[in-house]
Amino acid sequence: ETGVTQSPTHLIKTRGQQVTLRCSSQSGHNTVSWYQQALGQGPQFIFQYYREEENGRGNFPPRFSGLQFPNYSSELNVNALELDDSALYLCASSLRGVQETQYFGPGTRLLVL
């Protein structure tokens, strides 16, 4: 069984740039959720994708967008980066309708300068 993987592990961008983060879900899972974790805080929900559609969204602006592909992998895109976007971005996969346990990937650390 393959676990959740994310790429890249680290990323440095400058304010105003755009970034794409990638996530491969655990084998057999059909749902991907993205979370942002600022330093010293708990993860905050960004959005969830199920059957290639956004299924729910947290309190994040539209410049945070995503995709889910037929193989259930997912991308998180952030446009017009701001300094406050510096954080650990976590992807979690789960099997909707069976058990909602979410399994997390190792995360991508984004630093915006």
Nearer to other proteins, 15 or 51 (CB): 51
Hey, which bits of 2-104 come out as E strands?
A: 5-7, 10-13, 19-24, 31-37, 44-50, 53-57, 64-68, 74-78, 87-95, 99-104
Q: Which of 79, 88, 80 is nearest to 111 (CA)?
A: 88
55 in contact with other proteins (CB under 8 A): yes
22 in contact with other proteins (CB under 8 A): no
CB of 16 to other proteins, least distance (A): 26
30 in contact with other proteins (CB under 8 A): no
Instruction: Identify the H or E element spanning 108.
Output: strand 108-112
Residues 58-97 that bind other proteins (CB under 8 A): 58, 88, 90, 92
Q: What is the contact surface with other proteins in residues (CB under 8 A)?
A: 33, 35, 37, 41-45, 48, 55-56, 58, 88, 90, 92, 99-104, 106-107, 109
